[in-house]
Amino acid sequence: LAFQTIEIGGPPPGGPQGGVLRGPDLLGYVGIEAVLDQMRRKTMKAGFEFNIMVVGQSGLGKSTLVNTLFKSKVSRKSCSPNYEEKISKTVQLQSVSHVIEEKGVRMKLTVIDTPGFGDQINNDRCWEPVLKHVNEQYEKYLKEELRVNRQRKIPDTRVHCCIYFLPASGHWLRPIDVEFMKRLGKIVSIVPVIAKADTLTLEERTEFKQRIRQDLVANGIQVYPQKENDEDAEERLLNNTIRESIPFAVVGTDREHQVNGHRVLGRKTKWGIVEVENVAHCEFANLRDLLIRSHLEDLKQVTHDVHYETYRVQRLTAGAVHQGGPNGSDLESHL
């Protein structure tokens, strides 16, 4: 086999050399852009899937935040008819799926909630059901990928993003926060947020965030966006800005109020209205922009190219069957 790269842009003097044909060198226009158009048409047609997990104690506003993020009643709370907020005795994972549409783009959004997390008296190992769920999705995908006759498009139930809610204590990360994020940060993209941040003044907020960032580094916790996954200088620059402002201090609500003649999402109190989408008030808009407008695809890619691959390598090199899947039991018991 003879592989050569050809240089164009004038009569080649010697033999062929390696090179890249650039636009003006071409003796005309080939029209490669049309390929991108086709791709766009196809991806839009196929639709997108996004799986987001929310983790945190009761009452931190998880469901409200998700509803605010997607401007629809997509959380478990909004979907159960006779919902009564009760602390569940065990950690349970509940998934709700919706297909939402915007400007012709359809997205199947799945929100995985974790009621009961951190609510018990003894919260020892409350992260285990979450770990298990995440790994089970990877296992499911891997199994499908290894089948002899596999599906054209493997259904993707892997968790693309895990929003971890930190109570706005103003102090440090709590032991449960450290334990959870340490373990989950290795297998899924965690986005920590400071919940119900309207209890912190701006100063308190800045200090709290700094302390959290220090805590994260001190404990070796990996949060999204991870430095190793920056592909080029441009991305690194953008992601550095993000890394310097996490965790985002957010406030969520589904109520609207009149402010200066506009209707805005906000929480009304006697001393003023906290405008959720106002960046001077809280960082909800930053979170939304990160998760949805700019890094949605990246979150999916990191899940597929990094986290899933890590899981796959571990599974494939585990050797003996007894090493088993997420249940710790033989794989065969899964079939």
Partner 1 sequence: MIARRTVLQWNVNVKTPGYVGFANLPNQVHRKSVKKGFEFTLMVVGESGLGKSTLINSLFLTDLYPERIIPGAAEKIERTVQIEASTVEIEERGVKLRLTVVDTPGYGDAINSQDCFSTIISYIDDQFERYLHDESGLNRRHIVDNRVHCCFYFISPLGHGLKPLDVQFMKAIHNKVNVVPVIAKADTLTLRERERLKRRILDEIDEHGIKIYHLPDAESDEDEDFKEQTRILKASIPFAVVGSNQQIEAKGKKVRGRLYPWGVVEVENPEHNDFLKLRTMLITHMQDLQEVTQDLHYENFRSERLKRGGRLSSHGYVLPLSPAYVPLCLPAFLP
Per CB under 8 A, contacts with partner 1 among 34-93 are 34-36, 38-45, 48, 50, 69-72, 74, 76, 79-80, 90-93
Least Å distance between CB 154 and partner 1? 12
Least Å distance between CB 201 and partner 1? 29
The residue with tokens 């050797």 is 319
Nearer to partner 1, 187 or 212 (CB): 187
- Distance between start and end Cα atoms, the chain: 44
Least Å distance between CB 93 and partner 1? 5
168, burial (CB in 10 Å: exposed 0-12, middle 13-18, buried 19+): buried
Nearer to partner 1, 150 or 171 (CB): 150
The residue with tokens 């086709």 is 38
330, burial (CB in 10 Å: exposed 0-12, middle 13-18, buried 19+): middle
Residues between 164 and 203 that touch partner 1 (CB under 8 A): none
Per rule CB under 8 A, is residue 10 in the interface with partner 1?
no
Task: Please identify which residue in 102, 171, 210, 240 interacts with partner 1, judged by CB under 8 A.
Answer: 102
CA of 225: how far to CAs of 35, 167, 241, in Å?
30, 21, 10
Nearer to partner 1, 90 or 169 (CB): 90
Least Å distance between CB 225 and partner 1? 14
Per rule CB under 8 A, is residue 258 in the interface with partner 1?
no
Per rule CB under 8 A, is residue 250 in the interface with partner 1?
no
Least Å distance between CB 300 and partner 1? 9
CA of 159: how far to CAs of 6, 112, 137, 222, in Å?
44, 9, 8, 16
Least Å distance between CB 198 and partner 1? 21
Q: What is the largest CA-CA distance in the chain?
A: 81
190-194 and 161-166: which strand pairing?
parallel
Per rule CB under 8 A, is residue 122 in the interface with partner 1?
no
Per rule CB under 8 A, is residue 270 in the interface with partner 1?
no
Per rule CB under 8 A, is residue 129 in the interface with partner 1?
yes
Task: Please identify which residue in 87, 201, 210, 305 interacts with partner 1, judged by CB under 8 A.
Answer: 305
Q: Is residue 197 a contact partner of residue 90, using CB atoms and an 8 Å limit?
A: no
Least Å distance between CB 326 and partner 1? 11
Q: Is residue 321 a contact partner of residue 283, using CB atoms and an 8 Å limit?
A: no
Per rule CB under 8 A, is residue 271 in the interface with partner 1?
no
Task: Please identify which residue in 152, 175, 261, 269 interacts with partner 1, judged by CB under 8 A.
Answer: 152
Long-range contacts of 67-70 (CB under 8 A, 24+ apart): 67/252, 67/254, 68/252, 68/253, 68/254, 68/265, 68/276, 68/284, 69/252, 69/287, 69/288, 69/291, 69/292, 70/100, 70/109
User: Other C-beta atoms within 10 Å of 193: how many?
Assistant: 24
Least Å distance between CB 197 and partner 1? 21
Q: Which stretch binds partner 1 (CB under 8 A): 26-34, 168-176, 181-189, 237-245?
A: 26-34
